């Protein structure tokens, strides 16, 4: 368990710290036009590696996918850390997405297959608690390092830890049961990988398009978004995007509709505080710290709740808190608003997503046979990646609007409309949460089989 927590902790530091220093990266490399691409690239590639990783875990076990995921994440950090151009930073971040996607699928599948059902909520709560230390110190420390030394140190410092984790995981993972099935035993596997590649590529193109600032780019963005959404539907269990009542897809949909707006809003919060309120990069990171701590606390609370009826209400409460939090964050983006309002907003939003995400992981795995835990874990990670990439692209699209309507000086606030739209997406999660299947106890595990 401790190595899994270590990997989650490293991933948390990487996510929060790199988000904090991205304004510094864009400033040094003159890459503000590619900011959305750099933030969205790892989320876009995430879907490709999770699709392959899910098949890989089900066919061969978690050993090789875990090692491969750690190695790719380390490689991506090196590429981004030594980059001299923003485009190369985006490539490095894309490689990181390939690694973290595969790694998370393997970790989630291991929990679903090797941890008793009644202990899974606490286990996922421990995963979330692994965000606490990085949340407390990561963003502030990363901002301090970027201002005192260089943002490159933030990228490269994580690499040795990942390499040590890879070496430590080998003797622990080797004894786990392994299968010897072919990943490509049917044509559907090839089809899913092609669809995932198309969805990930389309999501990456969306981030490029929003940097072009023109009517044509706006039209292309809308077409790409529709295409990615259509391909996403093909990758998920039937009924996911419609949140079909009492089926596993409703839990996956709820996870997407709360995670995507949270990640997209968080990606732009440091930039908003620096540009609108003149905060330093170090100080802006404190907001992410507050959100990360409340996220972990929310997850801890859900792990302590055993009553099925109360657990069923958790994602509804979480959706409400996150909706209110993001809406307040949108208001705090106005120059006249006190920026401390952003901290309060992210306190609420973090608690909301903490109550919801682990609970939806438990429901999704608990409603699925163990033989399909790799695929369901992949579905959970796919909606995390593509959903968030779509949401980041949408925020970038709203920043295009002043140019599209002819205001080339981009007068007005570029953040408020996109963040308000994110609040609306979070509100959607409160509806899908009412359709999630109820788990009444360990006997309900494996009782339903999702149909793709």
Question: Is the pLDDT confidence value at 225 over 80?
Answer: yes
Least confident range of 107-116, 147-156, 287-296: 107-116
- The whole-angstrom distance between residue 281's C-alpha and the CA centroid of its chain comes to 22
- Residue 247 DSSP code: S
Question: Is 421 within a domain?
Answer: yes
Residue 117: predicted pLDDT: 64
Is residue 392 very low, low, confident or very high in pLDDT (cuts 50, 70, 90)? confident
Residue 409's SS3 state is: coil
Helix (DSSP H) and strand (DSSP E) numbers for the chain: 16, 0
Residue 451 within any structural domain of the chain: no
Average pLDDT over residues 192-221: 81
Residue showing tokens 């590619």: 34
Separation CA 98–CA 262 (nearest Å): 21
Please report whether residue 443 resides in a domain. no
pLDDT at 323 over 90: yes
444 lies in some domain = no
Going by pLDDT thresholds of 50, 70 and 90, the confidence category of residue 166 is: confident
pLDDT of residue 309: 80
Q: What percent of the chain has pLDDT over 70?
A: 78
Residue 448 lies inside a defined structural domain of this protein: no
Any domain includes 203: yes
Buried b vs exposed e over 408-445: b needs ≥16 C-beta within 10 Å?
eeeeebbbbbbbbbbbebbbbbbebbebbbebeeeeeb
pLDDT category, 3, cuts 50, 70, 90? low
* For range 237-247, the mean pLDDT: 84
**Which token pair is 422?**
């994110």
The CATH number linked to 55 is: 1.20.1250.20
The number of angstroms, rounded, from the C-alpha of 143 to the middle of its chain's C-alpha atoms is 21
Average pLDDT, the chain: 79
Least confident of 146-155, 309-318, 368-377: 368-377
- pLDDT at position 112 is 62
Q: In this predicted model, what pLDDT tens digit does every residue of 175-206 receive, in sequence order? A: 665 666 566 566 666 777 788 888 888 887 88
Q: What's residue 341's pLDDT? A: 92
Whole-number Å distance between alpha carbons of 398 and 402: 8
Higher pLDDT, 353 or 410: 353
Is the pTM higher than 0.75? The answer reads: no
- Residue 223 CA to residue 206 CA, distance in Å, equals 9
Residue 8 domain-assigned (yes or no): yes
> Could you tell me if residue 10 is inside a domain?
yes
Q: Closest by alpha carbon to 68, among 41, 84, 50?
A: 50
Residue 169 contacts residue 10 (beta carbons within 8 Å):
no
Of 13-22, 76-85, 91-100, 289-298, which range is least confident?
13-22
Neighbouring CB atoms inside 10 A of 193's CB total 17
Structure tokens at 421: 């739209």
Quick one: how far is CA 12 from the chain centroid? 11
pLDDT band per the 50, 70, 90 thresholds, residue 409: very low
The arithmetic mean of pLDDT across residues 161-168, rounded, is 79
pLDDT of amino acid 317? 94
Q: How far apart are CA 364 and CA 384, in angstroms?
A: 14
Please determine, for residue 93, whether its predicted confidence score (pLDDT) is greater than 50: yes
- The count of residues in the chain is 452
pLDDT score at 304? 82
Q: Given a cut of 60, is residue 414 above it in pLDDT?
A: yes
What's the pLDDT at 425? 94
Q: What is the DSSP string of 346-376?
A: HHHHHHHHHHHHHHHHHHHHHTS-GGGHHHH
Interatomic CA distance for residues 51 and 42, integer angstroms: 14
Task: Answer whether residue 113 shows pLDDT above 80.
Answer: no
Burial of 216 (0-12, 13-18, 19+ CB in 10 A): exposed
Q: Which of 12-16, 106-110, 346-350, 405-409 has the highest mean pLDDT?
A: 346-350
pLDDT digits (tens, 9 = 90+) for 124-164: 666 666 655 566 666 677 777 877 888 888 888 878 877 88
- In 10 A of CB 28, how many CB atoms? 14
Residue 175, judged by CB atoms within 10 A of its CB (0-12, 13-18, 19+), counts as exposed
- Which structural domain, as residue segments, surrounds residue 348? 2-175+183-438
Residues 60-73: what's their mean pLDDT?
Answer: 82
**2 phi, psi to nearest 5 deg:** -65, -35
């Amino acid at each position: 368990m401790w190595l899994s927590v270590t990997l989650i902790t490293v991933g948390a530091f990487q996510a929060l710290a790199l988000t904090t220093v991205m304004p510094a990266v864009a400033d040094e490399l003159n890459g503000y036009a590619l900011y959305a691409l750099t933030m969205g690239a790892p989320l876009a590639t995430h879907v490709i590696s999770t699709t392959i990783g899910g098949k890989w875990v089900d066919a061969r076990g978690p050993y090789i996918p875990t090692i491969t995921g750690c190695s790719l994440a380390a490689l991506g950090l090196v590429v981004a850390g030594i980059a001299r151009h923003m485009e190369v930073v985006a490539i490095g971040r894309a490689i990181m997405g390939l690694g973290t996607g595969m790694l998370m699928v393997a970790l989630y599948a291991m929990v679903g297959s090797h941890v008793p059902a009644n202990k899974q909520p606490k286990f996922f709560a421990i995963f979330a608690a692994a965000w606490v230390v990085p949340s407390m110190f990561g963003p502030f420390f990363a901002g301090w390092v970027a201002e005192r030394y260089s943002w490159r140190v933030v990228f490269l410092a994580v690499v040795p830890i990942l390499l040590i984790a890879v070496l430590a995981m080998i003797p622990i993972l080797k004894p786990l049961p392994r299968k010897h099935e072919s990943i490509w035993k049917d044509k559907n596997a090839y089809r899913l990988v092609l669809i995932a590649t198309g969805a990930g590529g389309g999501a990456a193109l969306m981030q490029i398009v929003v940097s072009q600032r023109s009517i044509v780019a706006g039209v292309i963005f809308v077409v790409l978004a529709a295409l990615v959404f259509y391909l996403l539907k093909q990758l998920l269990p039937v009924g996911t995007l419609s949140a079909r009542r009492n089926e596993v897809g409703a839990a996956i949909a709820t996870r997407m509709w709360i995670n995507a707006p949270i990640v997209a809003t968080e990606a732009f919060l440091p930039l908003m505080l620096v540009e609108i309120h003149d905060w330093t990069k170090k100080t802006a990171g404190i907001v992410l710290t507050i959100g990360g701590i409340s996220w972990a606390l929310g997850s801890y609370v859900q792990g302590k709740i055993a009553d099925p009826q109360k657990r069923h209400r958790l994602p509804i409460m979480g959706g409400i808190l996150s909706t209110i939090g993001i809406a307040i964050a949108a208001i705090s983006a106005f120059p006249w608003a006190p920026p401390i309002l952003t901290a309060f907003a992210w306190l609420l939003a973090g608690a909301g997503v903490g109550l919801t995400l682990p609970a939806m992981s438990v429901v999704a795995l608990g409603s699925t046979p163990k033989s399909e835990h790799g695929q369901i874990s992949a579905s959970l990670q796919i909606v995390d990646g593509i959903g968030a990439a779509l949401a980041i692209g949408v925020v970038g699209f709203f920043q295009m609007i002043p140019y599209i309507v002819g205001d080339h000086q981009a007068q007005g606030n570029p953040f408020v409309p996109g963040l308000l739209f994110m609040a609306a997406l979070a509100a959607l999660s409160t509806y899908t949460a009412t359709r999630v299947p109820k788990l009444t106890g360990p006997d309900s595990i494996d009782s339903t089989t999702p149909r793709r």
